């Protein structure tokens, strides 16, 4: 019995092979991750600052009200990508990378701690590990960044 809209076995196999080839090609083109690529780390631990640096990022303290509170981690966003600052005391600040040392995911802030939304690692406001990931692999403390306070005390430069 002839069917004008039916697929022959040959057509079915050809289309299936084409679909499988397209899936294989798409998989080969990516790194298996959904979203932007992970930051380069120059072969050092995840979160290591790039060699040669870029001269740092300068921010006005007044632009980040969270920096008025001691121990409060503040992610700097586009003002200083992949960086956070914590006020240690009246005139001292700590700079930290916000790249998780487990697998390179971006960290968020949860109260006075940093939280990795990928695998659940939690870091204190000074970058020490509170608890490791809920996935295999080691995790170390967050990478510290150099912070320089301006002479007038109104701005910070973070490497």
In a domain, 31, yes or no: no
Whether 52 is in a domain gets the answer: no
CA distances for 41 relative to 104, 116, 132, 156, angstroms: 9, 18, 20, 24
List, in order, residues 6 or more apart from 42 with CB less than 8 Å away. Answer: 48, 50, 51
Tell me: the pLDDT tens digits for 52-71? 445 689 999 999 999 999 99
Q: Indicate whether 79 belongs to any domain.
A: yes
Average pLDDT over residues 125-154: 91
| Structural domain boundaries enclosing 69 | 57-158
The pTM of the whole model exceeds 0.75: no
Would 62 be classed as within a structural domain? yes
Q: Domain holding 150: CATH number?
A: 2.102.10.10
In a domain, 33, yes or no: no
Q: What are phi and psi of 47, to 5 degrees?
A: 95, 0
Q: Which pLDDT does position 41 carry in this prediction? A: 41
Residue 125 lies in a domain: yes
Q: How many domains does the chain have?
A: 1
Give the per-residue pLDDT at 124: 95
User: For the ranges 31-45, 71-85, 143-157, which has the lowest average pLDDT?
Assistant: 31-45
Supply the Cα-derived Rg of the chain in whole angstroms. Answer: 24
For all residues of the chain together, what is the average pLDDT? Answer: 81
How far is the C-alpha of 149 from the C-alpha of 65, rounded, in Å?
Answer: 16
């Amino acid at each position: 019995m002839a069917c004008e809209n039916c697929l022959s076995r040959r057509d079915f196999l050809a289309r299936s092979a084409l679909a499988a080839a397209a899936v294989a090609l798409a998989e080969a083109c990516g790194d298996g991750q959904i979203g932007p690529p992970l930051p380069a780390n120059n072969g050092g631990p995840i979160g290591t600052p790039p060699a040669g640096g870029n001269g740092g990022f300068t921010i006005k303290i007044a632009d980040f009200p969270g920096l008025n509170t001691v121990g409060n981690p503040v992610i700097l966003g586009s003002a200083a990508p992949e960086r956070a600052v914590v006020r240690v005391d009246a005139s001292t600040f700590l700079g930290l990378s916000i790249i998780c040392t487990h697998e390179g995911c971006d960290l968020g802030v949860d109260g006075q701690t940093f939280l990795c939304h990928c695998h659940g690692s939690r870091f204190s406001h000074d970058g020490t590990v509170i608890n490791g990931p809920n996935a295999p692999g080691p995790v170390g403390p967050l990478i510290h960044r150099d912070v320089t306070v301006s002479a007038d005390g109104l701005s910070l430069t973070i490497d």
